[in-house]
């Protein structure tokens, strides 16, 4: 997730901003930059800026080689690429047409393509591929028309769609930094004769512990002595003032004990961001970055999904959705197995490679093999510019932001979203679903972030459950249909974090062997499908009855209003009502919370489990 810093005060802005960026490094990034207002005693000032792909050290080298002038007002940014590759040109800050305004941005501007074409029609030259540069041009146009930077920002925010934190400086106004936020975080640091802006308090807690959190759709102007907040229409507004008593490590985790827990709680936003900008003005689904023509999509007669670990389970869910919505046969295979079995591939096979990191060696080798067989490869990836999307024919980026905890959480949920989008897009192109059906499913997907919030609001119940199971030696997970990969994912999370024996099964498979494992008191977590489709629910209840009759303690995840499950559940964790194909998006959350909490109680390092690495770059 991008990091943002702003400063105005007596100190050297470059120093404060770069130090702030260093404090935000933990968020993950692929380039960094800084811009300063350099006043000119006699006339309007100018913007001085430096930016560089790679780590902050690269930027520091640039400013060491060509030092920036002294300044007391500046902004900085660490970028996690979404629109456009991670390179020097796409790095922030971006400047307006006349280099009067410099701006940094975190988030996604959904209508940037339309805004960009309008600017280009007016002879604006945009040098980067980013959505951010468009906003820099728009803000500059406003200040050029005579309004101040605050008003300019308010006006521009009214035409932007999507999620954003924006921070800007104006060369003609050296005493202020102006920022805005919608669906993306922004905090003001309140100092003595100086003020700060940050994507989180880590950016400035070495200077001040007094913070002001901005509300939704607000604009803030900071000067040395003041903070002024308005809404996008210029009406006075207020932020939430608080004192930060966290240490730096807690500040980085937004007050959570682990990055993993923070990332679990970020999932409503991660899912919402992954859905942003996916529909045209006319309601049609669009996957901008996908790069497969409609003809190529119509030619597909088989899909093979390859992935490892958690991403493989996302692929298993995808199979249910793709086959149901598109009627194209789908195989799902572990990357490490795929290329060594001589798979049958040709130009009408689409290979979908799912990888959060984009660097997993097994998956990379598998896609290289698929391409030698003339198959087209589509990557679903969270890391812009990583090797897997670079070596694929097409890509859908998930917008989870960097995932720091080794165990994948928001990466998994956003992979699911990308898979649903792919399935619906293919259905749209091939005409296997009517437009209004696709529209209805998109509406259901768009409701998911709020439903995840409800699940997260019930976290305490899951934590209590974890506390009851610190002595467990083994835990089983059961699911059916799209709930089966969720069961596998729940078991994987518990294995990797709590180092406990955990296994996931398709509930119908139990009686064919695994039921022999069941003994008195064995905890069995059951992902109960929603009621009313293909007897799935009834069949699942039979499976639950079977284990309960043999002494298992059944912990059932079931939708609100499901009363039939009550007699068979020793513990009932409620889920929001969602269609069966989308249920993994809500049912996975309690399992993530369970594993995270149990591992914490057992004293394990949740973010760095033993023997594991975040990206596995060896076969």
Shorter beta-carbon distance to ligand F6R: residue 82 or 310? 310
Please state the closest distance from residue 592 (CB atom) to ligand F6R, in A: 9
Q: Give residue 27's Cα distance to chain centre.
A: 12
Find the catalytic residue in 55, 430, 539, 614: 614
Which is closer to ligand F6R, CB of 474 or CB of 615? 615
**Are the C-beta atoms of 69 and 91 separated by less than 8 Å?**
no
Task: Out of 14, 151, 223, 311, name the contact with ligand F6R by CB under 6 A.
Answer: 311
Is 449 a binding residue for ligand F6R by CB under 6 A? The answer is no
Question: How far apart, in whole angstroms, are the C-alpha atoms of residue 76 and residue 92?
Answer: 8
Site size toward ligand F6R, by CB under 6 A: 15
Q: Long-range contacts made by residues 491-494, C-beta under 8 angstroms, separation at least 24?
A: 492/309, 492/310, 492/313, 493/407, 493/591, 493/592, 493/594, 493/595, 493/596, 494/591, 494/594, 494/595, 494/598
Q: Kindly tell me which residue out of 8, 190, 308, 380 binds ligand F6R, with binding defined by CB under 6 A.
A: 308
Pick the stretch among 309-317, 370-378, 420-428, 594-602 that binds ligand F6R (CB under 6 A): 309-317
β-pair type (523-527, 553-559): parallel
- Contact positions with ligand F6R (CB under 6 A) in 127-156: none
The question of whether 61 is a catalytic residue gets the answer no
Residue 336, interface with ligand F6R (CB under 6 A)? no
Task: Out of 223, 355, 387, 414, point to the residue binding ligand F6R (CB under 6 A).
Answer: 355
Rule CB under 6 A: is residue 615 a binding residue for ligand F6R? yes
Give least dist CB 227 to ligand F6R, A: 41
474 is a site residue for ligand F6R (CB under 6 A):
no
The residue (of 93 and 411) whose beta carbon lies closer to ligand F6R is 411
Kindly tell me which residue out of 350, 407, 547, 589 binds ligand F6R, with binding defined by CB under 6 A: 407
Instruction: Name the minimum Å distance from CB 499 to ligand F6R.
Output: 14
Instruction: Give the whole-angstrom CA distance, residue 359 versus residue 381.
Output: 10
Cα(271)–Cα(409) distance, integer angstroms: 11
Give the nearer residue to ligand F6R in terms of CB position, either 102 or 351: 351
Only one of the segments 6-14, 180-188, 230-238, 351-359 lies at the binding site for ligand F6R (rule: CB under 6 A); that segment is: 351-359
Dihedrals φ, ψ of 589, to 5°? -60, -50
| Distance between CA atoms of residues 6 and 556, nearest Å | 48
Q: Which is nearer to ligand F6R, 349 or 382 (CB)?
A: 382
Taking the least distance from each CB to ligand F6R, the nearer of 308 and 573 is: 308
CB of 477 to ligand F6R, least distance (A): 15
SS3 5: strand
Question: What SS3 class is residue 543?
Answer: helix
Work out how close the CB of 468 gets to ligand F6R at its nearest, in angstroms, rounded to a whole number: 24
Tell me if 387 contacts ligand F6R by CB under 6 A.
Answer: no
User: How many angstroms separate the CA atoms of 477 and 479, rounded?
Assistant: 7
Among 71, 360, 554, 583, interactor with ligand F6R by CB under 6 A: 360
Scanning 94-228, the segments in alpha helix (DSSP H) are: 112-121, 132-144, 149-159
When binding is defined by CB under 6 A, the residue of 154, 199, 356, 600 that contacts ligand F6R is 356
Cis peptide before 467 (omega within 30 of 0): no
By CB under 6 A, residue 352 contacts ligand F6R = no
Question: What 8-state DSSP symbol labels residue 327?
Answer: -
From the list 49-57, 271-279, 290-298, 356-364, the region that binds ligand F6R by CB under 6 A is: 356-364
500-511 as b/e: b if 16+ CB within 10 A: bebbbbbbbebe
What pairing do the DSSP bridges indicate for beta strands 177-182 and 218-222? Answer: antiparallel
DSSP state of 534: T
- Interface with ligand F6R in residues 266-295 (CB under 6 A): none
* Active-site residue, 614 included: yes
- Give 16-63 as a 3 state SS string: HHHHHHHHCHHHCCCEEEEEEEECCCCCCCEEEEEEEECCHHHHHHHH
C-beta of 7 vs 412, nearer to ligand F6R:
412
In the bound state with ligand F6R, the residue whose beta carbon lies nearer, of 404 and 476, is 404
Round to whole Å and give the CA distance between 352 and 416.
13
Our CB check for ligand F6R shows the closer of 88 and 359 to be 359
Cβ 304 to ligand F6R shortest distance, Å: 16
Question: Could you tell me the smallest distance in angstroms from the CB atom of residue 489 to ligand F6R?
Answer: 8
The answer to whether the beta carbons of residues 464 and 555 sit under 8 Å apart is no
Residue 361 is a binding residue for ligand F6R (CB under 6 A)? no
Give the range of 68-76, 101-109, 323-331, 355-363 binding ligand F6R by CB under 6 A.
355-363
Q: Which residue has the tokens 């709930």?
A: 483
| Binding status of residue 451 toward ligand F6R by CB under 6 A | no
Strands (E), 463-507: 474-479, 501-506
Strand order in the sheet with 195-198: 46-53, 31-38, 73-79, 3-8, 195-198, 187-190, 210-213, 240-243
Beta strands per DSSP E along 341-451: 349-355, 376-381, 394-397
Q: Taking the CB of residue 259, how many other CB atoms lie within 10 A of it? A: 24
Binding string, residues 487-516; x marks residues near ligand F6R by CB under 6 A: -----x---x--------------------
Stretch that binds ligand F6R, among 308-316, 371-379, 424-432, 499-507 (CB under 6 A): 308-316
Q: Assess 310 for contact with ligand F6R (CB under 6 A).
A: yes
Nearer to ligand F6R, 7 or 420 (CB): 420
Q: Which of 9, 268, 309, 543 is the binder for ligand F6R (CB under 6 A)?
A: 309
Q: Does position 379 bind ligand F6R by CB under 6 A?
A: no
363 binds ligand F6R per the rule CB under 6 A: yes
616 touching ligand F6R, by CB under 6 A: yes
93 versus 309: smaller Cβ distance to ligand F6R: 309
Is 592 a binding residue for ligand F6R by CB under 6 A? The answer is: no
Secondary element (H or E) of residue 425? helix 410-430
Q: What is the DSSP string of 69-115?
A: PP-SEEEEEEE--SSS-SSTTTSSPEE-TTS-EEEEEEEEETTHHHH
- Exposed/middle/buried for residue 551 (C-beta within 10 Å: 0-12, 13-18, 19+): exposed
Catalogue the active-site residues.
Answer: 2, 614
Q: Which residues bind ligand F6R (CB under 6 A)?
A: 308-311, 355-357, 360, 363, 407-408, 492, 496, 615-616
């Amino acid at each position: 997730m991008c990091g943002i810093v702003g400063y105005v005060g007596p100190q050297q802005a470059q120093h404060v901003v770069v130090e702030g960026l260093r404090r935000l490094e933990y968020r993950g990034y692929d380039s960094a930059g800084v811009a300063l207002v350099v006043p000119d005693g006699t006339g309007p000032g100018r913007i001085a800026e430096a930016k560089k792909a790679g780590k902050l050290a690269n930027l520091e080298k640039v400013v060491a080689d060509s030092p920036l002038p002294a300044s007391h007002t500046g902004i900085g940014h660490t970028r996690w690429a979404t629109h456009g590759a991670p390179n020097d040109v796409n790095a922030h800050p971006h400047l307006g047409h006349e280099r009067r305004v410099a701006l940094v941005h975190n988030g996604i501007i959904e209508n940037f393509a339309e805004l960009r074409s309008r600017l280009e029609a007016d002879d604006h030259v945009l040098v980067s591929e980013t959505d951010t540069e468009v906003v820099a041009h728009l803000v500059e146009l406003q200040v050029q028309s005579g309004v101040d930077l605050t008003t300019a920002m308010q006006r521009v925010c009214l035409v932007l769609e999507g999620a954003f934190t924006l921070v800007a400086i104006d060369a003609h106004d050296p005493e202020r930094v102006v920022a805005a936020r919608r669906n993306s975080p922004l905090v003001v640091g309140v100092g003595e004769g100086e003020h700060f802006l940050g994507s989180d308090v880590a950016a400035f807690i070495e200077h001040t512990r007094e913070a002001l959190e901005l509300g939704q759709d607000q604009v803030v102007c900071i000067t040395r002595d003041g903070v002024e907040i308005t809404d996008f229409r210029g009406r006075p507004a207020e932020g939430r003032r608080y004192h930060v008593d966290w240490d730096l490590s807690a500040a980085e985790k937004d007050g959570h004990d682990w990055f993993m827990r923070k990332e679990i709680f970020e999932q409503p936003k991660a899912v919402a961001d992954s859905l942003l900008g996916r529909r045209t003005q006319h309601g049609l689904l669009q996957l901008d970055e996908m790069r497969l023509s409609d003809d190529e999509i119509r030619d597909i007669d088989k899909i093979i999904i390859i992935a490892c670990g958690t991403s493989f389970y996302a692929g298993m869910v995808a199979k249910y959705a793709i086959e149901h919505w598109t009627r194209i046969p789908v195989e799902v295979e572990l990357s490490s197995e795929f290329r060594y079995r001589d798979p049958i591939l040709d130009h009408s096979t689409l290979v979908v490679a799912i990888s959060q990191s984009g660097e997993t060696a097994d998956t990379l080798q598998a896609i290289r093999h698929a391409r030698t067989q003339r198959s087209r490869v589509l990557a679903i990836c969270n890391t812009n510019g990583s090797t897997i999307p670079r070596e694929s024919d097409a890509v859908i980026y998930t917008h989870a932001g960097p995932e720091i905890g080794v165990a994948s959480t928001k990466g998994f949920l956003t992979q699911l979203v990308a898979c649903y989008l792919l399935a619906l897009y293919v259905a749209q192109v091939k005409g296997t679903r009517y437009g209004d059906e696709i529209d209805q499913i998109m509406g259901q997907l768009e409701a998911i972030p709020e439903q995840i919030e409800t699940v997260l609001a019930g976290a305490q119940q899951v934590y209590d459950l974890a506390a009851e199971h610190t002595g467990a030696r083994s835990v089983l997970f059961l699911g059916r249909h799209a709930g089966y990969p969720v069961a596998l994912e729940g078991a994987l999370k518990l294995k990797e974090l709590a180092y406990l024996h955990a296994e996931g099964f398709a509930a119908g498979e139990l009686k064919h062997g695994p039921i022999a494992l069941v003994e008195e008191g064995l905890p069995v977590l059951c992902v109960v499908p929603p009621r009313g489709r293909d007897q799935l629910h009834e069949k699942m209840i039979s499976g639950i009855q079977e284990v309960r009759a043999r002494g298992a303690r059944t912990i059932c995840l079931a939708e609100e209003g499901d009363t039939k499950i009550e007699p068979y559940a020793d513990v009932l964790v409620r889920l929001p009502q969602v269609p069966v194909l989308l249920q993994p998006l809500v049912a996975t959350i309690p399992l993530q919370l369970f594993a995270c909490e149990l591992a914490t109680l057992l004293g394990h390092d949740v973010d760095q489990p033993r023997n594991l690495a975040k990206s596995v770059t060896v076969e």
